[in-house]
Structure 1
Amino acid sequence: MAFFFRNKQSKFEIVKTAKDLLIRLRQPPQLAKTEDELCKLLSQMKVTLQGTHVYIEVDTTPEAVSALVNDMIKEDFIHILTCNIHLLRFEARKDSQTILSYALRFRPPGSTNEESPALAHVLDDRPETAIHLCRGYERKDSAMPCGAVLREILKNEHIAALVLYDESQGEDEPAIRVDDIQFEAPQSGNGVFWQFFDWINNAAFEASTDAFSTFRTLLTTHKPLVAHYLHVNFVMFFSKYNSLLIESMSYVTKRQSIKLLGEILLDRTNYVVMTHYVELPEHLKLTMKLLKDERKMVQYEGFHVFKVFVANPNKSEAVTRILTQNRDRLLRFLPSFLDDRQDDDQFLDEKSFLIRQIELLPAPATVATT
C-alpha cells in the first residue's frame, strides 16, 4: 500500500527532520506541536523498517530499509535518539525501541559482514551509543526501551566488552574503543557496568527487574570474556554482588541474584572464579545464612550455592573448619531441609550426596584435639 506515504516527506528526508525535532525537543519550551510532528515521523520510520502499519501490509523493500538505515548512520540519528528517548511520549518510545532494534540488526541482502552496518557504526564511531543505552536505566521513561535494545546488541561480544570496560563519566565524555581496552587492568568501579548494581537495587520494580535481566545477559552470554573479567576484578565484583544483591531487601532481587550466582559458579568456564569464591570463609557463612532464610525459594537457590562449597574436593582450611564446626548441626538440619520437594529427584539426590560428604568430615571434638 504505497498510498501510506503519499503526500508525506520522502523517506530519506525523514531522518534529518526527526533529528532536528529531537534536538529542538531538548530545548525549552517543549511544544506539543514538536512532539506531534516527531511522533508521526517516528511512526513512519517504524513502518518503513517493519513493513506493517496497524495490521496493514505496507510496500517496503530491503533497498528502502537499507537506504533509511544508511541515512540514520549518516545523521548520527541512532545515537541522538538513544540520548533523547526519555523525552518522548509513551507510544513514541515504543516506536523508537522498534526503530533502534531493527536498524541495529539489519543487514543488506547479500551482506557477509559479521556486524550490521548500524552496529559496525556504533563499534567504530559511536560506542557512546551502547553506554547511553545502559544509562537509560537512570530514568524510568527510558529504562524499558533502552534495556530491550541493549540486550539485543549485547549478543555481540565487542558491545559486551565496551559495557564491561568503559569508564567514561557523563554524557559528553567519549566512551572507550574496543581497540583501547586493556583486558588485564583492574577496573576502578566507576564505569557504567558497576552502576548496574545501583540500578538493580534502587530503581522502581519494573526498571530494577529489566536492569537485572540485562545484567544477567551480560554475565552469561560471552563466557570467556566474562570469566576473565571476573577473575581480574574478583574482589570488587563479589563485594558488591554479595552486599548489594545477595543481601538485598528486595525478595525478587535476592532470589534472582542467588540463582545467577549458582549458575556462574557451576559453569565450567568460570572454574578459576569458582575455586576462588568457595575458598573464602565469608562466602560460606553468607551462603549458610541463606539456607535458614524464611522464604523457601531463597533457601532453594542458596542450596545450589552451598553444594559447591561442600562438593569442592580442595576445600581451604578456613572453609573446612567452618563445615566441621557445624557438622552436627548440618546433619540434623539437612535431612528435613525443604522436605516438601519430594518430587524433585535431582534435588533429593544432591541433598543426599551433601549429607554423605558432611558425614565424612571429622567430628568437631576430633578437630579440636588435633
Structure 2
Amino acid sequence: MKSLFKSKPKTPAEIVRLTREILIYLDSNSTSREAAASKTKREEKMLELSKYIRELKCILYGNSEAEPVSEACSQLTQEFFRENTLRLLIICLPKLSLEARKDATQVVANLQRQQVHSRLIASDYLEANKDLMDILISGYEIPELALHYGAMLRECIRHQSIARYVLESEHMKKFFDYIQLPNFDIASDASATFKELMTRHKSTVAEFLTKNYEWFFAEFNSKLLESPNYITRRQAVKVV
C-alpha cells in the first residue's frame, strides 16, 4: 500500500524552478539580519538547495545506473535560461557549501554545451548578460571561489561572442596579475583560462591582437615571459 502514495518524481523543469526559488530566498536574506528561527529555516533551505543542485547534475551527466536523457536535459536547459537562474547561482555561490559549489560548477559547465533545437541557448543568455563575466573574472581575487568561478568562466568563453567580450574588457589586463598570484592552484587556473582565451577563437584573437599588440606584448613579456618565477615563464611559453 505504501507504494501507492509515493510522491510523483519531479520533472527537470520543476527542479530548476525549486532551485531558483531557494536561490531567490538566499539572495534576499542576509545572514547578518537573521534571528535564530530564521537561521534554522535558512539551513534547511541550504540542504534542499544542495539536493536540487545535485539532482540537476545527475540529470545532465547521468549516474552509475543511467546515461543522461536528451529530452530531460533539454527541459532543464530551457527552464534554466528562461529566467535568471544562472545569475542567481553565480551570485549565491559564496553562500553554498563546498560540495554544492562543486556541483553547481559542473552544472553551469555542462549547460554551456546543451543544445535546444540545435541552438546553444546558453550563448544567447550570456550575450544578454555579459556582466556575469565580470563576476566570474573577479572571482580570481577570492581564494575560496577562484577555482569554481574559473571553471565556469572557461566554459562560458567557449562562446565566441563571450570570449570577445572578455578580450575587449578591462579585465583582460588583470590576467597578467592573476597568473602571478602566489597561490599555485589559482595561478594555474588563471593561466588555463588565459590560454583558452588566446587560442580557442583564432579570428577573434587575431582581431584583438591587431588592435592591442603593443600593450599586450609589453605586459606579456615583462610580467610573464621575463618573470623571475620559472612556473610563470613556463605557463607563458605554452600560450605563444
User: Taking structure 2 as the reference length, what is the TM-score of the superposition?
Assistant: 0.82
Q: Which structure 2 segments of 5+ residues have no match?
A: 1-5, 32-38
Cα displacement (A) at 1:63? 2.1
Cα displacement (A) at 1:112? 3.7
CA 1:57–1:224 in 2, change beyond 3 Å: closer, same or farther? closer
Match of 2:139 among 136, 151, 165: 136
Match of 2:60 among 49, 60, 65: 49
Q: Which residue of 2 aligns with 1:120?
A: 124
Distance 2:176 2:49 in 1: 34
1:164 and 2:184 equivalent?
no
Q: Which residue of 1 aligns with 2:108?
A: 100
1:212 and 2:191 equivalent?
yes
Cα displacement (A) at 1:9? 4.6
Q: Which residue of 1 aligns with 2:222?
A: 243
Q: CA RMSD in A?
A: 2.4
Match of 1:90 among 82, 90, 98: 98
Q: Which residue of 1 aligns with 2:155?
A: 152
Identity %: 31
Contact 1:46–1:99 under 8 Å retained in 2: yes
Alignment of 1:256-271 (within 5 A): 256-260=235-239, 263=240
Partner SS, residue 57 of structure 1: coil
Distance 2:65 2:190 in 1: 34
The structure carrying a bigger helix percent of its residues is: 2
Q: Which residue of 2 aligns with 1:320?
A: none
Kindly provide the amino acid, as one letter, of the partner of residue 15 in structure 1.
Answer: V
1:194 and 2:173 equivalent?
yes
1:209-266 deviation per Cα after TM superposition (whole angstroms, max 9, x unaligned): 0000110111122223212312321222122222322233432112221443xx3xxx
Partner SS, residue 115 of structure 2: coil
Alignment of 1:1-370 (within 5 A): 6=7, 9-26=10-27, 27-29=29-31, 31-52=42-63, 55-57=64-66, 61-108=69-116, 111-113=117-119, 116-123=120-127, 125-166=128-169, 191-202=170-181, 204-260=183-239, 263=240
1:265-301 deviation per Cα after TM superposition (whole angstroms, max 9, x unaligned): xxxxxxxxxxxxxxxxxxxxxxxxxxxxxxxxxxxxx
Kindly provide the amino acid, as one letter, of the partner of residue 57 in structure 1.
Answer: A
Distance 2:238 2:14 in 1: 49
1:2-46 deviation per Cα after TM superposition (whole angstroms, max 9, x unaligned): xxx956654323223322322433433264323212111101111
Q: Which structure 1 segments of 5+ residues have no match?
A: 167-190, 264-370
User: What is the number of residues matched between the two proteins?
Assistant: 225
Kindly provide the amino acid, as one letter, of the partner of residue 32 in structure 1.
Answer: E
Bigger RCO (CA 8 Å, 6+ sep): 2
Kindly name which structure, 1 or 2, has the bigger radius of gyration based on alpha carbons. 1
Distance 2:145 2:84 in 1: 19
Contact 1:18–1:42 under 8 Å retained in 2: yes
